[in-house]
Amino acid sequence: MSYQMFSVAAMALAVLSGGAAAFPGANLEDNPHAAHMLKCAAVCADCQVQCDACFHHCASLVTEGKKEHAISMNCCVDCADCCNLCATLCARQSAMSAHALECCVKCCEQCAAACEKFPEDKQMAACAKSCRNCAKECGAMAKMAK
């Protein structure tokens, strides 16, 4: 996991477990959606890690000659980048987070669908589950952000 994503995940988890006092930058009184934004950031950070791991897994399969994993490999790397952006913007409660949330929902749904084509593969099943969870969380947050 990159240092940046570790920091985002750590900040989000600190707020979720300890409230606003655990992270002075998150003023829960100024933004009624701040706690949900931080929870969303943590879910996105987790999804980014799952997608990056699944990308590596799929890349290994492709190098073994299993070319049918090329589509999921590309979906995973793109989804990981989108989740990274969304986690960062949600953690800082950016006004631009609404755009990232909508994009993240689409990327996660597409990645989940690609990974679900291989239900017997535990790594891909875990990625699909994380993507579905992220899409659900981002979709709910996007509705609040409007």
- Out of 3.40.50.300, 1.20.1270.360, 3.30.2230.10, 3.40.50.1450, select the CATH number for domain 3-20+34-145: 1.20.1270.360
Lowest mean pLDDT among 7-21, 23-37, 60-74, 106-120: 7-21
Q: Which residues contact 128 (CB under 8 A, 6 or more apart)?
A: 111, 112, 113, 115, 116
What is the reported pTM?
A: 0.80
Domain parsing of the chain, residue ranges: 3-20+34-145
Closest CA to 5 of 57, 41, 58: 41
Taking only the tens place, the pLDDT of each residue in 53-87 is 999 999 999 999 999 999 999 999 999 999 999 99
